[in-house]
Structure 1
Amino acid sequence: MRIRVLVVDDSGFFRRRLTELINGDSRLEVVGTASNGQEAIDQVRALKPDVITMDYEMPVMDGITAVRQIQQIRPTPVLMFSSLTYEGARVTLDALEAGAVDYLPKNFEDISRHAEELQKILCERIVVVSRSGPRRRPVPVSGSVVTPDERAAATPAPVSASNTAAAARRSSPRGVQLVIIGASTGGPMALQQVLTALPANFPLPIVLVQHMPGTFTKAFAERLNRICQIGIAEAVDGDVLKPGHAYLAPGGKQMLLEGRPVMRVRVVDGDERLNYKPSLDVTFGSASRDLGGKVLGVVLTGMGSDGRDGARLLKAQGASIWAQDEASSVIYGMPMAVAKAGLVDEVLSLEKVAPRLCEEFS
């Protein structure tokens, strides 16, 4: 059975172009189009699509409002189209918080200059989005600091028996000096949920690797810094890692870690042949050289297997690896890869990651 897609955009040309590309894949079928958010809501009710592609700026009702209402009426995976600008990043993060699963550049030349490759990337992303797990209500971002009441309201209640097997084989990461957290699809809101739950006096530095374009990471770091109690910034080459602070790898770059004489960040261009910039494998691998068993690696939701090879290097040096469970992952790819490779010490639902970090280190 084909995946049924609803295309939403105020540009007739863009709707036609998307429809051509999507219908050119035998796995997919465009079942309807809409020119604004209100039409999209009406079409969702009538057509019950499997996936929605959504523009942001439209008349009558914008894309973010539409996404939010659709998730209330009939939760449906949404792929947003975004401009690769600082303002586009802010809008896209709002859309992800509203319930969108993933995003792509609206300027197709930012994806690929070749029609066949463009169609492959677009259609594969739609297929992946169609398989996404349950959308979870993120922590609010309305204020400069998240209150305990807001956090309690935004965090799902713990599942009492979901981690019984993992709990039985916990390996306490003694001597850890650094936490590295990596994610891809679904990661921005997962990271937001974890980081907003950490206290200002969290005793370790944290390094964050999120697959994102270079124009997005600065806006994402600023957003997190505004709503979290720990300090968060986009990493700069030479940053010395401090407790109670998190450092987000810049998009389009690779982030390396040094442990001598102090822990610091190195930001480099990296090899163009690598699929991900930043790559969790690269950051994990660099940490294994100087820090080894002093690292706790945490692999969250995301498609692909980035992090598996780096986790293997860390494990060889005595490090501990935690992974998000399938039930709470938007895309169970990256955490599944490390779990299937036998590299995981503990499997956790998303809502339990921050409490476990606090339990272990605070």
Structure 2
Amino acid sequence: MVTRVLIIDDSALVRGVLSEILSEDPQIEVVGTAADPLIARDKIKQLQPDVLTLDVEMPRMDGLTFLENLMRLRPMPVLMVSSLTAQGAEVTLQALELGAVDFVTKPALDVKAGLEEYAETLREKVKAAAMARPRGLSALKSRPAVEAPPRSRPRRFSTTEKIIAIGASTGGTEAIKDVLMGMPPDAPAIVITQHIPAMFSAPFAARMNRVSAMSVCEASDRLPILPGHVYIAPGSHHLLIERSGARYLCRLSDAPPENRHRPSVDTMFRSIVEYVGTNAVGAILTGMGEDGARQLLELRRIGAHTVAQDESTSVVWGMPGAAVRCGAAEQVLPLQNIAGQLLEWVR
């Protein structure tokens, strides 16, 4: 199946580079380009693309406004193209909340070389987006608004404390939010590896801290792991868990990527198998690829509880699907049931 793509960007250079990169894949057809959302609106009706690539900052109508209108009136897979800056990170996370499937980043300088460096990833993300299940704005707004309850003081930790380990990729920023909003303030510690660029992980952690009853932070090396806290892997490093006496600690590693990712879910789960064992429960949420499946299987083999998000609620059923196929998932559940199941196991 050929994926038909419409490229929306005010830069003629970016439109040209993206068209060239995507057209190198015989499974992708660039059916058109648009310099702004108003032109794009007409071309969507005319060309019926499968996927849009959408710049965040454009004339006449900004990308977020266009995305919000699109997801309300005609939900379809959208891949955001955002600047690798702090402001770009915040806007991109807002776009994911509005229903964008995924994003790619472009540098502020030498955009052509920067995009070409990620050419293969870009093509993979476009094809994955074509198979994704975009959530319309009406579905997003139908979720009950949840105000984070007051945070309690964490209980004292010991080596018998449970740890919840979660891995995710495409669609994961919103799936993780749903799981964290289902957690009480005194829940066991949660460690998370989400495939995300280095510039984006700290703003993502800050956003999760605002909606969660637990305290959420970007993990740092040798940071003690405490109940009531959530630790998100930095986009530049693997997150590992280590035990030191009565403590579990976050350890960061700049070792080479595993499964083409750093941070890698398999890397984190491997450390969980070694140092936490059956005191852990593991979950794989929506995501492209197979990262995490092998080591989730090891977790299950040693007797830890494991769960994978089901296909119907996953934006992309790559990672959880791989976990299910290899027998790593003890249970396969819709996203809305995962927090409750994790809590049941750790109790």
Q: Same fold (TM over 0.5)?
A: yes
Structure 1, unaligned runs of 5 or more: 141-147, 153-174
Contact 2:239 2:267 in 1 (8 A): yes
Aligned to 2:127: 127
Distance 2:182 2:260 in 1: 31
Aligned to 1:216: 200
Aligned to 2:190: 206
Q: Describe how 1:256-275 pairs up with structure 2 within 5 A.
A: 256-261=240-245, 262-272=247-257, 275=260
Taking structure 2 as the reference length, what is the TM-score of the superposition?
Answer: 0.88
Amino acid at match of 1:14: V
Contact 2:258 2:266 in 1 (8 A): no
Contact 2:285 2:308 in 1 (8 A): yes
- Match of residue 341, structure 1, among 320, 326, 329: 326
Distance 1:303 1:28 in 2: 18
Distance 1:208 1:232 in 2: 10
CA distance 1:282–1:178, shift in 2 (3 Å) = same
CA distance 1:15–1:151, shift in 2 (3 Å) = same
- Match of residue 315, structure 1, among 300, 305, 309: 300
CA distance 1:223–1:349, shift in 2 (3 Å) = same
Structure 2, unaligned runs of 5 or more: 148-159
Aligned to 1:155: none
Contact 1:45 1:74 in 2 (8 A): no
Contact 1:176 1:293 in 2 (8 A): no
Distance 1:68 1:346 in 2: 34
Which stretch shows the higher mean deviation, 307-316 or 221-230?
307-316
Q: Describe how 1:134-213 pairs up with structure 2 within 5 A.
A: 134-135=134-135, 150-151=145-146, 177-202=162-187, 204-213=188-197
Contact 1:44 1:70 in 2 (8 A): no
Cα drift, residue 113 of structure 1 = 6.3
Distance 1:274 1:356 in 2: 28
Distance 1:33 1:114 in 2: 17
Amino acid at match of 1:189: E
CA distance 1:216–1:356, shift in 2 (3 Å) = same
Distance 1:277 1:92 in 2: 20
Distance 2:176 2:222 in 1: 24
Which stretch shows the higher mean deviation, 103-112 or 208-217?
103-112
Amino acid at match of 1:58: M
CA distance 1:228–1:114, shift in 2 (3 Å) = closer
CA distance 1:136–1:179, shift in 2 (3 Å) = farther
Deviations 1:101-127 (A, max 9, x none): 111112396896695x65433222211
Contact 2:14 2:112 in 1 (8 A): no
Aligned to 2:226: 242
Contact 1:299 1:323 in 2 (8 A): yes
Distance 2:114 2:219 in 1: 31
Runs in 1 of length 4+ with deviation above 6 angstroms?
108-114
- Match of residue 273, structure 2, among 288, 296, 299: 288
Amino acid at match of 1:287: I
Contact 2:165 2:191 in 1 (8 A): yes
CA distance 1:222–1:284, shift in 2 (3 Å) = same
Q: How many residues align?
A: 331
- Match of residue 264, structure 2, among 275, 279, 283: 279
Cα drift, residue 219 of structure 1 = 0.5
Cα drift, residue 234 of structure 1 = 0.2
Aligned to 1:42: 42
Percent identity over the alignment is: 39
Cα drift, residue 190 of structure 1 = 0.6
- Match of residue 235, structure 2, among 223, 248, 251: 251
CA distance 1:149–1:78, shift in 2 (3 Å) = closer
